[in-house]
Amino acid sequence: MKLDKTKELGSASVWKLLISYSIPAIVGMLINAIYNIVDRMFIGNNPDLGAAGLAGLTICFPIMIVMMAVSVLFGMGGSILASIKLGEKNNKEAQKVFLTSYTLMIVSGIIIAIVGIIFLKPLLYAFGANDETYPYAAPYMRLVLLGGAVQNMGLGANNFIRIQGRPVRAMVTMAIGAVTNIILDYVFIYTMNLGTFGAALGTVIGQIFSCIFVAQFFMSKESLLRLDFRKLNLNPKYVRLIITFGFSAAILQAASALMNVILNKQLLKYGAMSEYGSTIAISGLGIINSLVTLFILPVLGITQGAQSIISYNYGARNYKRVRETVFYAIIFATVLISLAYIVSRLFPDQIIGLYNKDDQDLIDFSKIALNYWFMLMPIVGYQIVVSNYFQSIGRIKTAIVLSTSRQLLLLIPLLYILPYFIGLKGILLATPAADLGAIMLSTVFFIFELKRLNKEEKSLAQTA
């Protein structure tokens, strides 16, 4: 077994660690986004699919977010707990956590696939499909559901590579799947004319490749945490703890899925009352959601990089390094997301044109939506970092409140209230209003948390 690289988390320069862990995580997150973004780009620009095909994929998006939530629940939850155990120098416990988490990812993926396929049609209609979009959504979603367990084992288990001091390796395993997906999307959609089924086929095959390379790492001598399929189990003690640590991030994903369902329903209703129509409204917001995902992912990459450092040092009671990591992460996230915001303001036509160049109504509506939804983008990174901090130290209740404040507490009610008075424009204004409220709430919690850390640090100094 190679040298334990987790020790650097407690001794190396915090800023250098954050950069070295975040950059690969950012690239990995962007690569992961390719699975959805590339599908939408190829389908939106295909003359046989266009806006209707794009709307079909947008309908599928909430279900895919739920699948992602499961990966996050067991993958990130397990990795945070394992990272804290490694910080406590308890490698045996970390190994047990890993095996339990891996088992949960396999079992949950199989259950989701079975339930999802059995109830696919009513599920898609409940999520906003209609007779026009269902033929595009159904073949795509059916195949993606079948690949649920593979996605969990690739995406979820990838978190355990990063906490072992192998951020670049974690990035490479994601890159392998994404590159495969891009190549196969072109072949299946344009060369073989397989439509949305082809997009899903490329996605699932790419996920299989990632899954294989992730598993190979855990079976090698490079890994502190070893994968042995004969020892997979569901230890109740660790199941409870994994769910506890992953619940905050998972509920955020689930809230996002619920928000997207409500958004699609409201777009179906108020889009039909506008000059654009419901299909254009749903397709346009599908583009904007895809862009939001793309621009937010670098921040999520930073939080992933910071999580390993924060969890390890919190377990080691090195609170000074915990604080430094959070502050550097906030600065880094704000700079990156501000750059993304500037790009969206300078090149809106070019960005939207990546998804569809021919439908002028779709382009016009997407540009309007882009202006509203990105209004407070430069300061959103701060809220995400603060929310993730509480998850990284195991303060689950606080993390849940902050993670869900934007979507469950603010955005969803606003999606009902504002359009009632001002129609489709109200849907577009709901996002910046929710962003502002969530940022203010996070600031209050963060101020109190900094005071608590200072007290803990003084108490340790007095007892030393």
Burial of residue 21 (CB within 10 Å: 0-12, 13-18, 19+) is: buried
Mean pLDDT computed over 348-364: 85
Give dist(CA 76, CA 47) in Å, integer: 39
Residues 170, 307: Cα–Cα separation, whole Å: 14
For residue 2, pLDDT over 60 is answered with no
Encode pLDDT of 39-65 as tens digits.
Answer: 777 887 777 777 788 888 888 888 888
Overall number of domains in the chain? 1
Of 382, 281, 286, 390, whose CA–CA distance to 337 is shortest? 382
Who has greater pLDDT, 457 or 139?
Answer: 139
Does residue 115 carry a pLDDT above 80?
A: yes
**Mean pLDDT of all residues belonging to the chain:** 86
> Which residue range forms the structural domain that includes residue 184?
5-463
pLDDT tens column, 216-273: 999 988 888 999 888 888 888 899 999 988 887 787 778 778 888 898 889 888 988 8
| Measured distance CA(79)–CA(305) in Å, rounded | 12
Looking at this protein, which amino acid is placed at residue 29?
A: M
pLDDT in tens, 230-245: 888 888 889 999 998 8
Quick one: 453 exposed, middle or buried, by C-beta within 10 A (0-12, 13-18, 19+)? middle
- Region 301-323: mean pLDDT is 87
* Structure confidence at residue 105 (pLDDT): 93
Please count the other Cβ atoms lying within 10 Å of the Cβ belonging to residue 131.
7
Q: For position 333, what pLDDT does the model report? A: 93
Q: What percent of the chain has pLDDT over 70?
A: 97
How long is the chain? 464
Compute the CA torsion angle 361, 363, 367, 370 (nearest 10 deg).
110
pLDDT higher than threshold 70 for residue 364: yes
Asked if 160 and 169 touch (Cβ cutoff 8 Å), the reply is no
Does the pLDDT at position 128 exceed 90? no
Q: Is the pLDDT score of 394 beyond 80? A: no
Coil, helix or strand at residue 235 = coil
Cβ atoms of residues 140 and 200 within 8 Å: yes
pLDDT number for residue 1: 39
Check residues 61 and 138 and name the one with the higher pLDDT: 138
Per-residue confidence (pLDDT) for residue 464, from 0 to 100: 61
